Amino acid sequence: MAKYIVRRLLQTIPVLIGVTILVFSLMHLIPGDAAQIMAGEAATEESVEQIREKLGLNKPLHIQYFNYVSNALQGDLGNSVRSGRPVLDEIKHRFWVTAELAIYATILAVFIGLIAGIVSAVRHYTWADVTIMIVALFGLSMPNFWLGLVLIQWFAVGGDYLPEFLKMRPSGWGDSWRQILLPVICLGTSGAAIIARMTRASMLEVIDQDYIRTARAKGLSERVVTYRHALKNALIPVITVVGLEFGAFLGGAVITETIFAINGMGRLTIDAIRQRDFPIVQGTVLIISLLFVFVNMLVDISYRMLNKRIDLN
């Protein structure tokens, strides 16, 4: 296991290099002069030159990239053009909000998706299976921005028909469960639908295996066969989906945070794009990308914990 972890860490190095190249290229792929765009159309040539000097844009590209990577390794992602504060300081105040939102959405998606997928597989081709799959299809089809507005209308703004303790707060984060529930549902619904469909497909494949029939022939209860034998092996592809969905939640939080006025990394990114604060955009994209790579590595390592027969060497 230790050798595999070391090898997996080494394999992430080319990925991380690719991520840094992509993030670094953000400032250079936009049409026009990045310094002029950040300074504004009415800025003087002196102001534009100051920004170009401050960001090192007057140096050759390979020197700029080397400086960017070396500074990033030291925890220096540059300074915000608008506020002048270090990018890392701007991000760390918003990071945990987005992380909490993604974690809660993942927990909700896994809880609902696993239960729905297991019930659908155990009772396949019955009304319960058909109903769950239809609901999952709706969950996949509803875009976040539409679902968020519907939830706000039903349970906050237009929820006069609800008891007072059930009315949600449509903006902000963290003060109470009334602020947390709606954005978590909005972000986690599509993930729950994907996990439900994957769990069903994986369970149906497993329950037809010989060892499941052998377990039933031994007289084991259906509960033991389902949860101890079938589910454990069916979880391997599901874990992959969960890891991918968590990464998608980190990126998808941009829309959810904007709808519910949550001061997380997603909203910080949107505000930075509107203000042409490209160091902030680079920093947020880099942090989310690194988290996605790290989560994928943890998913690969978790395979061995679920199935001892998987060879990681």
Contact 291, 250 (CB under 8 A): yes
Mean pLDDT of the region 131-156: 89
pLDDT for position 183: 92
Residue 101 has pLDDT above 70, yes or no: yes
Residue 106 has pLDDT above 90, yes or no: yes
Percentage, residues of the chain above pLDDT 70: 90
In a shared domain, residues 124 and 180: yes
In a shared domain, residues 111 and 27: no
In a shared domain, residues 44 and 179: no
Q: For residue 175, report the phi and psi dihedrals to the nearest 5 degrees.
A: -70, -35
pLDDT band at 30 (very low <50, low <70, confident <90, very high): low
In a shared domain, residues 234 and 177: yes
Percentage, residues of the chain above pLDDT 90: 16
Q: Of 274, 289, 272, 294, whose CA–CA distance to 90 is shortest? A: 272
The Cα 80–Cα 88 span in angstroms is 9
Mean pLDDT of the region 237-250: 86
3-state SS class at 53: helix
Mean pLDDT of the region 21-36: 72
The residue type found at 207 is I
Residue 311 has pLDDT above 70, yes or no: no
Mean pLDDT of the region 295-308: 72
Q: Domain containing 22: what range?
A: 2-73
Residue 42 has pLDDT above 60, yes or no: yes
In a shared domain, residues 41 and 117: no
pLDDT for position 304: 64
Mean pLDDT of the region 144-172: 80
Mean pLDDT of the region 101-123: 92
In a shared domain, residues 68 and 190: no
pLDDT band at 112 (very low <50, low <70, confident <90, very high): very high
Contact 241, 41 (CB under 8 A): no
106 class by beta-carbon count within 10 Å (0-12 exposed, 13-18 middle, 19+ buried)? buried
In a shared domain, residues 285 and 225: yes
Cα angle at 28 between 279 and 249, to 5 degrees?
55
Mean pLDDT of the region 245-274: 85
Mean pLDDT of the region 18-37: 74
Mean pLDDT of the region 194-214: 86
Averaged pLDDT score across all residues of the chain = 82
Residue 309 has pLDDT above 70, yes or no: no
3-state SS class at 173: coil
Residue 100 has pLDDT above 60, yes or no: yes
Contact 90, 279 (CB under 8 A): no
pLDDT for position 193: 93
Contact 160, 109 (CB under 8 A): no
The Cα 233–Cα 142 span in angstroms is 31
Q: State how far the alpha carbon of 175 is from the alpha carbons of 62, 103, 262, 288, in Å.
A: 46, 17, 12, 25
Number of domains in the chain: 2
In a shared domain, residues 47 and 126: no
State the chain's maximal CA–CA distance in angstroms.
Answer: 83
In a shared domain, residues 147 and 284: yes
Q: Which of 45-49, 168-172, 275-279, 285-289 has the highest mean pLDDT?
A: 285-289
In a shared domain, residues 155 and 284: yes
DSSP assignments along 261-307, one per residue: T--SHHHHHHHHHHTT-HHHHHHHHHHHHHHHHHHHHHHHHHHHHH-
Tokens representing 120 are: 């659908």
Whole-prediction pTM value? 0.82
pLDDT for position 110: 94
Mean pLDDT of the region 210-234: 79
Mean pLDDT of the region 264-281: 83
pLDDT for position 299: 79
In a shared domain, residues 122 and 49: no
Q: Which of 5-9, 88-92, 152-156, 205-209 has the lowest mean pLDDT?
A: 5-9
